[in-house]
Amino acid sequence: MSGKIRISVDAMGGDAGAQTVIPGAAIVLERCPDIEFLLFGDKAVIEPLLENHPRLKECSRVFHSDVAIEMDEKPSQALRKGRGKSSMWQAIAAVKAGDADVAVSAGNTGALMAMSKFCLRTMSDIERPAIAAIWPTMRGESIVLDVGATVGADSQQLIDFAILGGAMARTIQGIEKPTVGLLNIGVEEVKGVEEVRNAGRMLRDLSPPNLQYVGFVEGDDIGKGTVDVVVTEGFAGNIALKTAEGTAKQLAGYLRAAMSRTIFAKIGYLFAKGAFDRLRAKMDPRKMNGGVFLGLNGIVIKSHGGTDGEGFASAVELAYDMAKNELIKKISEDIGDYHRGKITTADEGLEG
């Protein structure tokens, strides 16, 4: 994609709203100067903050909304309250109208998904959307989906997720044919629930052209980076994500306690400070901030609501990469290739 990347932002979303969003947008502008921002929210709050960031002010347009979605509102309530007029809705609607290439919000996840589905609709031949997360691994990074959008996905929906995740891996990681595994309780073909086993058989038989299905993977394979894309339904995916986040915090707490326990431990920490700094950077959740809503007719990125400016910048930078590398186009191509393959396979079966 050439020209400026236009990013619409729900400036009132998240725990701190514009107090985090505006500094975060300013940070990412230093890294990606070819961005134009559309900022939706309370002008009386946003415009004074922009005065502290002249470069950001120059490349931003502010659209007033005096309706903000609260972090604890139920999706149905938020949809009734905010449809057409909230900062969250308007940021999404800008993508639908073609005024923005991608939308970013740190607001209520359920409300954001409900509004995104209602406003953008799901893509043709995709039954349900998914939320994809970028996961740090021993090999680098993997993509895990779904981490919370679709609970209890059936076989076809799991296949859809595989295609969506594969397209995302091709977009941001430049992998020509990503490896894909289905998360299961074992790698044997007889293990797991029926929907997962059926999805595995279908992926193996149909062999989608733009991904390489390698079979079942287990929970510990996520951190190992065994595959480029891990596919699961939203219930298990969300538990896995929250467990990993909690474990990372637990380990960090253990290390802090151990390094401060004795004078010798403190001296040892000084000698190993460089290694600990690298570990801290690797485990920093701000660097992996940003869940991608996949399967919609437009790109929406969900930032963690409690992040700081640096974390929000990571979510915006992910949005930039998605738009710059034309994620929607790649997803459409992959869906088309998969369904053409299904038709060809069916025709061959009839001929046989």
Does 1-123+296-325 match 127-294 in CATH topology? yes
Q: Mapping DSSP to helix (H, G, I), strand (E, B) and coil, where does residue 300 land?
A: strand
User: Are the beta carbons of 37 and 329 closer than 8 angstroms?
Assistant: no
pLDDT score of 67: 92
What distance lies between CA 286 and its chain's CA centroid? 13
CATH no. of 1-123+296-325: 3.40.718.10
What secondary structure does DSSP assign to 265-280, as a single string?
Answer: HHHHHHHTHHHHHHHH
Count of CB atoms situated within 10 Å of the CB of 278: 10
What are the phi and psi torsion angles at 23 (to 5°)? -60, -35
Residue 134 CB neighbours (<10 A): 21
Q: What is the DSSP letter of 84?
A: T
pLDDT in tens, the chain (352 residues): 558 999 999 999 999 999 999 999 999 999 999 999 999 999 999 999 999 999 999 999 999 999 999 998 998 988 888 888 999 999 999 999 999 999 999 999 999 999 999 999 999 889 899 999 998 888 888 999 999 888 889 999 999 999 999 999 998 888 889 999 999 999 888 888 999 999 999 999 888 888 999 999 999 999 999 999 999 999 999 999 888 888 877 877 887 787 777 887 777 767 676 766 666 666 666 677 789 999 999 999 999 998 999 999 999 999 999 999 999 998 998 888 887 766 555 455 545 5
Helix (H) or strand (E) holding 301: strand 299-302
CATH 3.40.718.10 fits 127-294, yes or no: yes
pLDDT at 2: 56
> pTM of the entire structure?
0.87
Domain boundaries, the chain: 1-123+296-325, 127-294
